[in-house]
Amino acid sequence: MITTISETDFICKIDDMAIIEVSGEDSLTYLQGQLTNDINLVTQQSTQLSAYCTPKGRAICLFRIFKVSDKVYLVLAKDLLEAIYKRLKMFVMMSKVDILDVTEQYLHYGIVGDKAAQLVTDKGYQLPEAINESTNTHNTVIIKISQNQYEAFGLENDLKNLIELATSEYSSAEQSNWYQVNIINGIPGVSLASKELFIPQMLNLHFLNGINFKKGCYTGQEVIARLHYLGKMKRLMFAISFQSKNQCQIGDKIYSPISKSGQGAGQIVSIEAAKKNDDTYHYTALAVIELKVIDDDSIYLDQEFEIKADKLQLPYEQELLAREKEVNEKS
């Protein structure tokens, strides 16, 4: 039901994300002290995920970061734009850094599937080959974020070929389809509903190359580094599916009869309703869940343990768990 979406080609407009432009002589130094990843590794061919955290190591937002010329672009959830923009400006102080909201200047499209990728190439756009790589043709930045999944950013005139594809050769897909693909591929997001709920490792960011443990100091580093070097991860992010007559949302708790945590066995990171029949919602979601609950296959959406969730296999899950097991055995 849900997994067929990942096999369906579509192009869709994404309109709930914002873009912040950062430039100036001190821009890289400034961002280096704010984010979990090494901003110096971002080039015009290489992008990255990065978290912006509180001093306690909780993710306020996630950025998809790319570069054009000497300007850095931060893509984030639009409902966080006002707060994050204000926070970034507040800490600039005397640094030579310019921060601009350029959301309205750019169009943002998602591209999914082999056929979609081929048609985009046929229209003259160059696609990146590796995940997190980017290209820039016709003044359009295209980023590969997972297998057969791309994001495109450009001005309306530069994106006109993609827009034509989305409205003619394709039936223009709903934005929710894009986020269901994100869930299937294990790509996390942080929005207003989930800000400060999770430490970046809980969102698998250490496995998705979203944290650099060799860089210098940044806000929240002490907590994040301590967990990396001294702690054992008790919770990670997984994909689940379930049915419910209730309207479920980001931040809802996960329950399990074997969990002893007063905070519940986990929480929903992102969620989409695939369809609705007979007043029943069919959900797919990403959720941070206790590892022992995953092992026990006892994931529930209610305290009465009646709404059971099934775990979906993330593309990188096997390797993620193997790495965590190796780290735990050494510690």
51-95, pLDDT tens digit by residue? 999 999 999 999 999 999 999 999 999 999 999 999 999 988 888
pLDDT at 130 over 60: yes
In a domain, residue 221? The reply is: no
Last residue of a domain, one of 174, 201, 219: 174
pTM of the predicted model over 0.85: yes
Last residue of a domain, one of 156, 174, 192: 174
22 and 161 belong to one structural domain: yes
pLDDT at 166 over 80: no
50 and 119 belong to one structural domain: yes
Domain extent at residue 320: 232-330
The residue with greater pLDDT, 13 or 235, is 235
Q: Give strand pairing partners of 62.
A: 51
Confidence bin at 169 (pLDDT 50/70/90): low
275 and 156 belong to one structural domain: no
In a domain, residue 222? The reply is: no
Measured CA to CA, the distance from residue 118 to residue 139 in angstroms comes to 19
Least confident of 157-171, 205-219, 231-245: 157-171
Report the CATH number that the domain containing residue 133 is assigned in CATH: 3.30.1360.120
Measured CA to CA, the distance from residue 79 to residue 192 in angstroms comes to 6
In a domain, residue 182? The reply is: no
Over range 201-208, report the average pLDDT: 96
For the chain, helix (H) and strand (E) counts, in that order, are 8, 15
pLDDT at 5 over 50: no
136 and 255 belong to one structural domain: no
What are the backbone dihedrals phi and psi of residue 161, each rounded to the nearest 5 degrees, phi first?
-70, -40
In a domain, residue 198? The reply is: no
pLDDT digits (tens, 9 = 90+) for 245-281: 989 999 999 999 999 998 899 999 999 987 676 788 9
**CA distances to 6, 197, 260, 261 from 292, in Å:** 29, 20, 11, 12
167 and 256 belong to one structural domain: no
In a domain, residue 220? The reply is: no
pLDDT at 4 over 90: no
Confidence bin at 167 (pLDDT 50/70/90): low
In a domain, residue 255? The reply is: yes
The predicted pLDDT at position 138 comes to: 86
pLDDT digits (tens, 9 = 90+) for 92-114: 888 899 999 999 999 999 999 98
**Mean pLDDT across the chain:** 90
The predicted pLDDT at position 196 comes to: 97
**What percentage of residues in the chain have a pLDDT greater than 90?**
71
Q: Is the dihedral of CA 225, 227, 233, 236 positive or negative?
A: negative
Using the CB atoms, write b or e for 108-139: b if 16+ within 10 Å: bbbbbbeebbebbeeeebebbeeebebbbebe
157 and 237 belong to one structural domain: no
Ramachandran assignment for 27, one of left (phi > 0), alpha (psi -120 to 50 degrees), beta (any other): alpha
The predicted pLDDT at position 232 comes to: 79
In a domain, residue 247? The reply is: yes
Measured CA to CA, the distance from residue 85 to residue 80 in angstroms comes to 8
pLDDT digits (tens, 9 = 90+) for 295-304: 999 999 999 9
**What percentage of residues in the chain have a pLDDT greater than 70?**
93
For 58, the 3-state DSSP assignment is coil
Confidence bin at 2 (pLDDT 50/70/90): very low
In a domain, residue 193? The reply is: no
14 and 129 belong to one structural domain: yes
Over range 188-192, report the average pLDDT: 97
247 and 161 belong to one structural domain: no
156 and 236 belong to one structural domain: no
Angle at 149 between CA 146 and CA 152, to 5 degrees: 115
164 and 291 belong to one structural domain: no
Over range 3-17, report the average pLDDT: 70
131 and 241 belong to one structural domain: no
Other Cβ atoms less than 10 A from the Cβ of 284: the count is: 25
Report the CATH number that the domain containing residue 318 is assigned in CATH: 2.40.30
Over range 33-41, report the average pLDDT: 97
38 and 113 belong to one structural domain: yes
Tell me how many domains the chain contains.
Answer: 2
Over range 144-158, report the average pLDDT: 91
Cα distance from N-terminal residue to C-terminal residue, the chain = 41
The residue with greater pLDDT, 41 or 7, is 41
Last residue of a domain, one of 129, 144, 174: 174
